[in-house]
């Protein structure tokens, strides 16, 4: 592993910002780690909310990473067919120690051909799309399959990042970061997964994301046709 540890997170238009701000907070607490926020150009990128994100390096200037991480969000529907971004991921993946994602970032890894024959996690609403990239959908908060480490939806990025730190450094470091971030979660409701959410809440959310699903079916279908 290079010294310092080089950890890069992709930022892109309409990224779900918590997909990467959660892991970023964890990784930033690793002494000596060098963090990179990567996009095509260094100019503010709109996230899914009012937060704009400023990349710190470009595809062209980014050093070889030890860890490449792709967060998720609505913007992944464009990324899965963005050959410039997919080429960058493939090149980095060749030299990286760990190829990782949070939420629907795993669909982008899949579209880059990087999950064929691997188990992978993603957001609960996107599970079945993984199969189109030759991956095996896995319903866990964090899925470790050889050097592919993928997290579930959005907030799973925190569990993912702590797991990765325990692998990259050691368990004590991960526990120390967990304590600093007071990650002792106590959700006020038990609606965090389709299995535990009230039926009417699940129906409401499915209805609300239905238009996105239509777009995703088209985008993933096109991407998968190119990969497989």
Residues annotated as part of the active site? 103
Contact map string, positions 9 to 48, toward a second copy, x by CB under 8 A: -------xxx--xx-xx--x------xxx------x---x
Select from 111-119, 127-135, 166-174, 218-226 the region that touches a second copy (CB under 8 A): 166-174
Nearest CA to 70 out of 124, 112, 119 is that of: 112
52 binding a second copy? (CB under 8 A): yes
202 binding a second copy? (CB under 8 A): yes
Enumerate residues 6+ apart whose C-beta is below 8 A from 119: 135, 136, 137, 138, 143, 145, 148
Select from 62-70, 78-86, 87-95, 180-188 the region that touches a second copy (CB under 8 A): 180-188
Strands 34-39 and 98-101: unpaired
- Out of 13, 91, 134, 183, which residue is the one contacting a second copy (CB under 8 A)? 183
Which residue lies nearer to a second copy by CB, 131 or 171? Answer: 171
d(CA 84, CA 75) in angstroms, rounded, equals 15
What b-and-e string marks burial along 60-73, b requiring 16 or more CB atoms within 10 Å of the CB?
A: eebeebbbbbbbbb
Count the site residues for a second copy by CB under 8 A: 66
Asked if the bond preceding 206 is cis, omega within 30° of 0, the reply is no
What Cα–Cα distance (Å) separates residue 163 from each residue in 32, 62, 121, 172? Answer: 18, 25, 14, 11
Would you tell me which residues interact with a second copy (CB under 8 A)?
Answer: 16-18, 21-22, 24-25, 28, 35-37, 44, 48-54, 56, 103, 123-124, 141-142, 152-156, 158-159, 162-163, 166, 171-172, 174-176, 178-189, 191-194, 196-198, 200-202, 204-205, 208-209
């Amino acid at each position: 592993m290079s010294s310092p540890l080089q950890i890069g997170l992709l930022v892109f238009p309409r990224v779900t910002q918590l997909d990467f701000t959660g892991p970023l907070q964890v990784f930033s607490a690793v002494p000596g780690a060098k963090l990179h926020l990567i996009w095509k150009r260094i100019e503010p990128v709109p996230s899914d909310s009012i937060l704009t994100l400023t990349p710190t390096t470009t595809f062209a200037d980014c050093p070889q990473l030890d860890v490449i991480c792709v967060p998720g969000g609505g913007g992944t529907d464009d990324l899965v067919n963005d050959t410039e971004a997919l080429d960058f991921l493939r090149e980095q993946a060749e030299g990286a120690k760990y190829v990782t994602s949070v939420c629907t970032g795993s669909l982008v890894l899949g579209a880059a051909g990087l999950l064929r024959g691997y188990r992978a996690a993603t957001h609960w609403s996107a599970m079945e799309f993984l199969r189109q990239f030759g991956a095996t959908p896995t319903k866990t908060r964090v899925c470790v399959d050889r050097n592919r480490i993928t997290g579930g939806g959005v907030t799973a990025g925190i569990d993912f990042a702590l797991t990765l730190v325990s692998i990259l450094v050691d368990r004590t470091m991960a526990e120390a970061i967990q304590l600093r971030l007071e990650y002792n979660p106590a959700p006020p409701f038990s609606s965090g997964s389709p299995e535990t959410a009230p039926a009417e809440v699940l129906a409401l959310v499915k209805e609300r994301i239905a238009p996105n699903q239509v777009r995703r079916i088209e985008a993933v279908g096109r991407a998968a046709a190119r990969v497989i």
